[in-house]
Chain A
Amino acid sequence: MLQVISLLLENKPGALMRVTGLLSQRGYNIESLTVARTLDPELSRMTIVVDVDSVQRQQVIKQMNKLINVLQATDLTDSPAVVRELVLVRIRMPQESRTAVLKEAEIFGGRVVDSSTEGFAIEATGDPEKLGEFIDVMNSYGEIEVTRSGALAIGLEAKKLRLQPPVPTKTKMEEFVD
């Protein structure tokens, strides 16, 4: 089944590699992955959708939490959350279908961002399943090319962030003077 994970991670070199490496190392298939900075430029927020069987879900979260650069891994699959995706579709179709395509796009809340004699470029956002339908419909009108952003998710309940406080070093200090 598909599991939606929201990760808050430190924006350190290699942090992304650790997350993707862990997923492939443990045999979890990545459906989609998006990442961008948060308000705090030192942190990034990542939304990952993985395909795992339900008994593995907890294990995925625990493994993510073990990564030192990960501050919080949250499973949003069953908790109240909004999941959205952006899709960009370029469509080429015969002249006579232009109005029909525009109508359909409107039904899905799509917006034309480029128009030419050959067709349109349309952007649409929504939940990933809905967008799938949108793409199917567009496909029935002509030749399309599609780019999807992958799911972005935000939990609707604030989750307390538990961080490790700094630990004093136990290094030997006395004997070294230089």
Chain B
Amino acid sequence: MLVECLVREGVDCLFGYPGGVTIPFYDVLYDHPLRHVLVRHEENAAFAAEGYARATGKVGVCCATSGPGATNLTTGLVDAMMDSIPVVAITGQVTSKLIGSDAFQEADTFGITRPCTKHNYLVKRLEDLAQTIHEAFYVAGSGRPGPVLVDVTKDVLQAQGHYQQVTAIHLPGYRVFTEGHTGQVRRAAQLVQEAQRPLVYGGGGIIAAGTAKELREFVELADLPAVLTLMGLGGLASEHPNFISMPGMHGSYAANMALTNCDLLIALGVRFDDRVTGRLAAFAPHAKVIHVDIDPAEIGKNRAPDVPIVGDVKRVLVKLNKLLAESGNAPDETLRAARRAWWHRIRQWKQEHPFDVVTSDTEIKPQHLMAEIDRISGGQAIVASDVGQHQMWAAQLVRFNEPRLWLSSGGLGSMGFGIPAAIGAQFARPDKLVFAIVGDGGFQMSIPELSTIASNGLPIKIVVMNNGHLGMVRQWQTLFYNNRLSAVELDGFPDVEKLAAAYGFKGRIIDKPWELAPALEEAVAEPGPYLLNVKVTPFECVYPMVPAGSGLEEMVLGPPQPVAVPAK
């Protein structure tokens, strides 16, 4: 019955790991066409489901057995929660009569995952199963998306019964606000037309709402510069002339300066996260704020907006664009001059301090690696990143000309995300070139999944940016703890040629800059998986950097001496 519910939800692929209580479920899968991907650790089942969801917008599905299986899922669930990714997790639970008896592999999955999910369920009766599964998919995918877990007892998994058609979801307390308030949208349109220094600040909500097209129309109609957060990259093509870049802790000088100096901030599907805003009081201090979000609780959480709009960003943008297109208000000369001056300043900031592509004749610089990947991708490849320095350099330097190409753990920052996310994405998009860009630390958290990649022949290109360290932690120790490097050296990294060979695919180690382009090209030309270990200079730091707790304007642009940026 469970399998039937999944098929009716349009599930074509799920990621999981079996165990005692889920055997009845797997027994049905034995001769069922529904594709189950056996991962090598349940955490990776959740990450892979996220990768699938992030690459497609569809609900990703993962499953695990009771007890340790379920607890292993939790990191991925919290990750999906933080980044608002639609995932349904199905876990087995001990037989309902045994619940509460400390039975073998019993864990309070329902209690443990309450704070890890948007909503969760425990199903103890067969007659509740179909309704619950369909509700779970509805909740996961609607409104502000998120993970939903359904814990199903073994007796329910074992029971035979006929699927009863579920015709409606009745959740009286689950309100989804989609239409933005028309009056507020009108006010927003007016502010957009009147602003001298407007700026769009878009985030993951743009991707979740599938509204890249409307965003492009919006910035073009009103000629607005735009920054996109780590979660929003690809929401406006990186190559679009109105795109500045990513703001925040490791954002560009231009993006952070634009935020600091704008007089109107059009916040679309963002949550004013601390990694973006720096010290809140210094964030966009001169700006009126329009804040559009589908989640009412995000509005006013960190910054009180002047024009709050609760609604689906897509619907709101459609309305806004209509108003802007229809309004006959031509800006007067003063306003036009102000806008020109604003664009001029932004272009200047971009020129003064672009993201540096540092190169060297003898060593591979991390930035050089990202620039090469960018060249090969041309803004078209799917890139799943892990967490750390490599993630920031990739976000800075790799272009994404479409949404759902850049898959990265933003809110939770979970190491070990990159490779399983790439697996999920490659299953979702077999047609796409998929890179997993990972650090030498995170890679070692995901090594078991090389086996999943090998056994499924997934042509993922794993690029390890190997700096010999837990680089991002090392950077903080260098900059803020007197370079006292504690527990960040990664000795004993495996020989990836042998490692890849052990799994039956190709691997290569490079450390010379001239090897970089040919090695990446070789990797991409290879029809199967490829593992490339790129030894980069070990002590590079990611810049610009806004020290935690500082305002964006106080960003440090590079070594060795912090360069204070003069106030405007």
Contacts and interface: CB of A to CB of B under 8 A. Distances in A.
Are A and B a genuine interacting pair, yes or no? yes
B173 interface: yes
Interface stretch (B114-122, B179-187, B480-488, B515-523): B114-122
A29 interface: no
A67 B301 CA distance: 17
A67 B8 contact: no
Interface in A150-178: 162-164, 166-169, 171-173, 176, 178
B300 A58 contact: yes
B173 A167 contact: no
Contacts of A41: none
Interface string A53-92: 0000011001101111111100000000000000000000
A21 interface: yes
B175 interface: yes
Given A13-B122, A59-B301, A171-B134, A176 B169 contact: no
B568 interface: no
Contacts of A71: 172-173
A25 interface: yes
- Of B138, B165, B297, the most chain A CB neighbours within 10 A belong to B297
B167 A168 contact: yes
B21 to A, nearest CB: 19
Interface string B131-142: 000100011000
Nearest to A18: B114
B194 interface: no
Contacts of A67: 173
A178 B4 contact: yes
Interface string B1-44: 00010011110000000000000000000000000000000000
B122 A169 contact: no
Contact of A25 (B8, B115, B176): B115
Contact of B168 (A69, A163, A166, A176): A166
Given A168-B167, A168-B168, A176 B7 contact: yes
B168 A167 contact: yes
A17 interface: yes
Contacts of A17: 111, 114
A71 B4 CA distance: 31
A48 interface: no
A27 interface: no
Contacts of B166: 169, 171
A9 interface: yes
A104 to B, nearest CB: 45
Given A58-B300, A172-B8, A178 B169 contact: no
- Ranked nearest first, the 4 interchain pairs of A and B with the lowest CB-CB distance are A62-B297, A163-B172, A166-B168, A171-B8
27 contacts: A10-B173, A13-B110, A14-B120, A17-B111, A21-B114, A59-B300, A59-B301, A63-B297, A66-B296, A67-B173, A68-B139, A68-B171, A68-B173, A69-B173, A70-B173, A72-B173, A164-B173, A166-B169, A168-B167, A168-B169, A169-B138, A169-B166, A169-B168, A172-B10, A173-B8, A173-B165, A178-B163
Interface of B: 4, 7-10, 110-111, 114-115, 119-120, 122, 134, 138-139, 162-163, 165-176, 295-297, 300-301
